[in-house]
């Protein structure tokens, strides 16, 4: 696989994220590895995001371009997931016309 | 769209570190590590020789490199004799440039460097934990200065090396040493921080026209010119030598901490200084984010020890040193620390010191207007006394200051907390502002904060502590972090992680997910600033925005890239500009132009721009520009462009869609 991805796990995670993102427009569940039907609470989303970040963040992959793109897709999915997630009473501003921009600026809240 | 680089195949070749776009490509670092020690060691020899021997330049340097003003601004004559010296006179450690190719065995772990305004430190990951390196005087935090004495240069890392000529604080303040370079680097002479630096003992000359200030150190009663980059490079070279001595192998990569308030242009100056010292910058981390990484490590260890549940913890990190003050909010769990908000400003201990000095000597500015020898000496005495008093005030209720400044000037005063706080009121207000901004940007209320981490020298000032803790509605700060060693330890951790070091026990399964400290965007809708990547966006990031033409049959458009917080473009920092030409003629508003900004993992900013509607063969290709492109004159370039073109090349934000 990619010589600059240090481990098979990293490469596989990057591969899965990129292929999941390519399958559908609204693919955050697939990218974050949350099965359809499973609850996507902010806690679950954050946990998956952190787990996958440790695998595909460029810091962990010596600036491999594939990892960088995978991380960008992961981050996008994370924002989308928090927007779609059932409100858990947090300070997340998920309504109104600026929701997308606000979430893009600071997805996690 | 063709802009999106497909991540596949995964079998991309490893990206080469030496692309022509890379700052190290124009490889100062290949000759400078050799030259700087020569410069230092041969200046002495020059006196013994009778003038420069006649010989041709032998160094591998191109004329453009020589012409580059940032390259050591020593006189050409110096360069001439320096080059004539055979290379085997290199007395210092450097270096193994030839050897390290044949010995790839040493682990290429990046070192962590904290270049502080007043103190510097260096740390390495030694395989088990972060180790702070000590100099020959057993110091971990080394005073940041470079002494220009006779024909030798020496930095604060060795502090004058031998005991008999060890530098003392009064030598540093004698005008022969340059310090506070972190406040001066990459700033123009209209900057208020540069103006404030005129109260330093060395020469800071300004013309107030938006060019670099003239900086000089006193050598044998003469002002000898230098640049902040050069001073920093000499300092970094000593730090590098120290690290190499400890590690017993050459050091190439480094992670440096920088203030949040540093502009991208200032970052390029730091990178250039590193390249001059033969260091490749792996990452530049805002100081509080380095502390966040250290905090993530602590939390992970706690979790392992207590079998904790890994609940997300929110930390507010406040860092205030001698030159800058920053705050960050980080959400941490499972070894991953996500930066939610960053804010910072260039206010620090130096401002507190100057306020107190002006308070003690009301006619400070007129008294020290001209830098004569006795005035420099007198100012040095005042500085030492004031510094001492501020340190004592951290533990005492009041302090008595008695200092004879010579020339009939005497200061005799008792300073207490209320007076100290009154004099520095503006500074405390700024601190309050950045904390509140940080909390607001993170969309948090003080009650959400689990831990408040105070780092940096000024966090020891009681009023600052109580102010920050009060704003976060808590009584105590996080205890397990050393205020002066946290940033450098975090940088060393990041150095190990980004160098690809893995630990079988999982103690390096850590990560800081960085965010951008400032808005990045272009000028649009007249003089407005359209932020394409808003501040606190996770990096690496790629954002796109659509613009449209503002005139009928407009064939050219100017893209001026700015960084900052202002609503209007001119209030921000100009990073560079370029034109899109050959736009097909069409009624205004019908041509769509996409501007895409991309920040990669190494924090390099690229701007892509081009016409997306209409499409077809008649459309010019996209342009990719690496920013910043401007080297100087950030203030007046924008004005000159406005004068030349007015609104002829303007763009407006497309109302349809902002970001897919």
| pLDDT (0 to 100) of residue B280 | 95
Distance CA B433, CA B440 (A): 10
pLDDT in tens, B112-122: 999 999 999 99
Average pLDDT over residues B135-157: 85
Average pLDDT, chain B: 82
Decide if B350-422 and B518-653 have a common fold. no
pLDDT band at B450 (very low <50, low <70, confident <90, very high): very high
Distance CA B158, CA B166 (A): 9
For tokens 């008695």, the residue is B402
| pLDDT (0 to 100) of residue B34 | 40
Contact A57 B509 (CB under 8 A): no
Tell me, yes or no, if B602 comes closer than 8 A to chain A by beta carbon: yes
Distance CA B60, CA B76 (A): 15
| pLDDT (0 to 100) of residue B8 | 37
Number of residues in chain A: 109
Q: What is the domain partition of chain B in residue ranges? A: 111-157+165-281, 350-422, 518-653
Distance CA B461, CA B390 (A): 8
To the nearest whole Å, the CA of A29 is away from the closest chain B CA by 18
Average pLDDT over residues A39-57: 88
| pLDDT (0 to 100) of residue B310 | 66
- For the cut 80, the answer to whether the pLDDT of residue A3 exceeds it is no
To the nearest whole Å, the CA of A40 is away from the closest chain B CA by 17
Identify the residue among A91, A105, A108 best suited for mutation to test binding to B, counting B beta carbons within 10 A and taking the highest. Answer: A105
| pLDDT (0 to 100) of residue B551 | 94
Higher pLDDT, B544 or B504: B544
Query: Which segment of B466-470, B497-501, B563-567 scores lowest on mean pLDDT?
Result: B497-501
In this structure, whether the domain defined by B518-653 belongs to CATH 2.60.40.10 is answered with no
Separation of CA A28 from chain center: 7
* A59 interaction partners in chain B (CB closer than 8 Å): 283, 494, 497-498, 511-512, 601
The token pair that represents B8 in the structure block? 């596949």
Q: Which of B283, B211, B209, B323 is nearest to B498 (CA)?
A: B283
Distance CA B367, CA A36 (A): 75
Distance CA B353, CA B335 (A): 38
Three-state SS at B535: coil
Q: Which of B275, B269, B268 is nearest to B254 (CA)?
A: B275
Three-state SS at B454: strand
Note whether B289 and B652 are within 8 A (CB).
Answer: no
| pLDDT (0 to 100) of residue A38 | 81
| pLDDT (0 to 100) of residue B488 | 96
pLDDT in tens, B381-397: 999 999 999 999 999 99
Taking the alpha carbons at both ends of chain A, their separation in whole angstroms is 36
pLDDT band at B345 (very low <50, low <70, confident <90, very high): very high
Distance CA B179, CA B143 (A): 9
Note whether B172 and B242 are within 8 A (CB).
Answer: no
Chain A, nearest residue to B340 by Cα? A106
- For the cut 50, the answer to whether the pLDDT of residue B80 exceeds it is no
pLDDT band at A25 (very low <50, low <70, confident <90, very high): low
pLDDT band at B278 (very low <50, low <70, confident <90, very high): very high
pLDDT in tens, B81-110: 333 333 333 333 333 343 333 334 456 899
Q: Which fold has domain B350-422?
A: Actin; Chain A, domain 4 (3.90.640)
The token pair that represents B404 in the structure block? 């004879």
* B537 interaction partners in chain A (CB closer than 8 Å): 104-105
- For the cut 50, the answer to whether the pLDDT of residue B276 exceeds it is yes
To the nearest whole Å, the CA of A37 is away from the closest chain B CA by 24
Q: Which of A106, A97, A100, A69 is nearest to A84 (CA)?
A: A100
| pLDDT (0 to 100) of residue B532 | 96
pLDDT band at B463 (very low <50, low <70, confident <90, very high): very high
| pLDDT (0 to 100) of residue B218 | 92
Taking the alpha carbons at both ends of chain B, their separation in whole angstroms is 12
To the nearest whole Å, the CA of B12 is away from the closest chain A CA by 6
Highest mean pLDDT among B42-46, B104-108, B545-549: B545-549
Query: Which segment of B29-33, B349-353, B417-421 scores lowest on mean pLDDT?
Result: B29-33
| pLDDT (0 to 100) of residue A11 | 78
Distance CA B122, CA B487 (A): 10
- For the cut 90, the answer to whether the pLDDT of residue A15 exceeds it is no
| pLDDT (0 to 100) of residue B107 | 63
- For the cut 60, the answer to whether the pLDDT of residue A17 exceeds it is yes
Distance CA B138, CA B41 (A): 24
| pLDDT (0 to 100) of residue B25 | 36
Strands B605-613 and B623-627: antiparallel
Three-state SS at A97: coil
In CATH, what number does B111-157+165-281 get? 3.30.420.40
- For the cut 80, the answer to whether the pLDDT of residue B520 exceeds it is yes
Contact A72 B336 (CB under 8 A): no
**Cross-chain CB nearest to A106 (options B333, B340, B499):** B340
Average pLDDT over residues A74-85: 86
Q: Is B150 left (phi over 0), alpha (psi -120 to 50) or beta?
A: left
| pLDDT (0 to 100) of residue B306 | 59
Contact A65 B12 (CB under 8 A): yes
Chain A, nearest residue to B338 by Cα? A50
Identify the residue among A1, A78, A106, A108 best suited for mutation to test binding to B, counting B beta carbons within 10 A and taking the highest. Answer: A106
- For the cut 70, the answer to whether the pLDDT of residue B427 exceeds it is yes
Q: Which of B38, B626, B627 is nearest to B278 (CA)?
A: B38
Task: Identify the DSSP state of B109.
Answer: P
Average pLDDT over residues A46-55: 90
Average pLDDT over residues A27-38: 85
Q: How many CB atoms lie within 10 A of CB B397?
A: 7
To the nearest whole Å, the CA of B601 is away from the closest chain A CA by 6
pTM to 2 decimal places: 0.82
Contact B537 A105 (CB under 8 A): yes
Higher pLDDT, A90 or B133: B133
- For the cut 80, the answer to whether the pLDDT of residue B33 exceeds it is no
Note whether B647 and B526 are within 8 A (CB).
Answer: yes
């Amino acid at each position: 696989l990619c010589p600059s991805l240090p481990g098979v796990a990293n490469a596989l995670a990057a591969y899965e994220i990129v292929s999941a993102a390519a399958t559908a427009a609204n693919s955050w569940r697939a990218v974050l590895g949350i099965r359809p039907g499973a609850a996507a609470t902010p806690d679950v989303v954050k946990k998956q995001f952190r787990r996958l970040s440790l695998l595909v963040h460029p810091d962990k992959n010596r600036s491999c371009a594939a990892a960088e793109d995978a991380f960008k897709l992961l981050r996008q999915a994370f924002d989308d997931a928090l927007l779609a997630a059932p409100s858990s009473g947090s300070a997340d501003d998920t309504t109104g016309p600026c929701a997308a921009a606000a979430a893009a600026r600071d997805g996690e809240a | 769209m063709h802009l999106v680089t497909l991540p596949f195949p995964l079998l991309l070749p490893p990206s080469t570190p030496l692309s022509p776009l890379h700052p190290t490509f124009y490889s100062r670092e290949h000759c400078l590590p050799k030259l700087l020690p020569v410069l230092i060691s041969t200046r002495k020899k020059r006196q013994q020789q009778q003038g420069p021997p006649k010989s041709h330049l032998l160094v591998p340097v191109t004329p453009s490199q020589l012409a580059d003003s940032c390259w050591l601004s020593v006189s050409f004559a110096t360069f001439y004799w320096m080059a004539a010296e055979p290379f085997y006179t290199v007395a210092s450690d450097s270096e193994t440039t030839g050897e390290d190719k044949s010995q790839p065995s040493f682990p290429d772990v990046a070192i962590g460097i904290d270049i502080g305004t007043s103190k510097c430190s260096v740390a390495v990951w030694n395989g088990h934990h972060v180790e702070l390196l000590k100099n020959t005087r057993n110091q971990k935090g080394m005073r940041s200065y470079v002494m220009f004495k006779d024909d030798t240069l020496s930095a604060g890392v060795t502090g004058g090396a031998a005991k008999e000529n060890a530098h003392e604080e009064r030598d540093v303040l004698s005008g022969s040493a340059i310090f506070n370079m972190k406040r001066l680097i990459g700033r123009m002479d209209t900057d208020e921080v540069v103006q404030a630096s005129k109260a330093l003992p060395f020469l800071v000359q300004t013309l107030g026209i938006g060019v670099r200030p003239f900086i000089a150190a006193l050598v044998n009663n003469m002002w000898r010119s230098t640049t902040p980059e050069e001073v920093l490079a000499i300092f970094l070279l000593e730090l590098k030598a120290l690290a190499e001595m400890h590690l017993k192998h050459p050091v190439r990569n480094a992670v440096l901490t920088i203030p949040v308030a540093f502009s991208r242009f200032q970052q390029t100056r730091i990178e250039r200084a590193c390249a001059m010292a033969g260091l490749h910058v792996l990452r530049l981390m805002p100081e509080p984010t380095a502390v966040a990484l250290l905090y993530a490590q602590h939390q992970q260890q706690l979790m392992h020890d207590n079998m904790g549940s890994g609940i997300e913890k929110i930390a507010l990190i406040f860092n205030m040193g001698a030159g800058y003050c920053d705050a960050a909010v980080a959400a941490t769990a499972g070894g991953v620390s996500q930066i939610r908000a960053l804010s910072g400003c260039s206010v620090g201990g130096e401002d507190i010191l100057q306020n107190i000095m002006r308070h003690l000597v009301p006619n400070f500015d007129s008294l020290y207007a001209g830098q004569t020898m006795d005035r420099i000496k007198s100012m040095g005495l005042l500085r030492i006394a004031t510094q001492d008093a501020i340190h004592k005030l951290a533990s005492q209720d009041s302090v008595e200051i008695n200092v004879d400044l010579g020339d009939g000037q005497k200061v005799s005063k008792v300073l207490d907390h209320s007076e100290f706080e009154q004099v520095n009121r503006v500074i405390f207000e700024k601190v309050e502002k950045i904390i509140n901004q940080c909390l607001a940007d993170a969309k948090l209320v003080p009650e959400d904060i689990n831990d408040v981490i105070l780092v940096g020298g000024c966090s020891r000032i009681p009023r600052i502590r109580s102010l920050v803790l009060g704003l976060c509605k808590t009584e105590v700060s996080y205890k397990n972090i050393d205020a002066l060693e946290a940033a450098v330890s975090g940088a060393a951790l990041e150095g190990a992680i980004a160098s690809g070091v893995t630990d079988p026990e999982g103690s390096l399964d850590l990560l800081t997910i960085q965010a951008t400290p400032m808005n990045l965007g272009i000028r649009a809708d007249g003089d407005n600033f359209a932020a394409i990547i808003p501040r606190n966006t996770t990096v690496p990031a790629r954002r796109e925005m659509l613009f449209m033409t503002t005139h009928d049959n407009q064939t050219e458009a100017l893209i001026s890239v700015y960084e900052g917080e202002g609503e209007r473009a001119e209030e921000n920092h100009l990073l560079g500009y370029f034109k899109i030409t050959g736009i097909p003629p069409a009624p205004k508003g019908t041509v769509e132009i996409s501007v895409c900004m991309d920040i990669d993992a190494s924090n390099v900013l690229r701007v892509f721009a081009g016409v997306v509607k209409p499409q077809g063969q008649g459309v010019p290709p996209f342009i990719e520009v690496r920013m910043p492109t401007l080297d100087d004159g950030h203030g007046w370039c924008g004005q000159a462009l406005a004068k030349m073109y007015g609104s002829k090349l303007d763009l407006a934000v497309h109302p349809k869609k902002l970001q897919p």
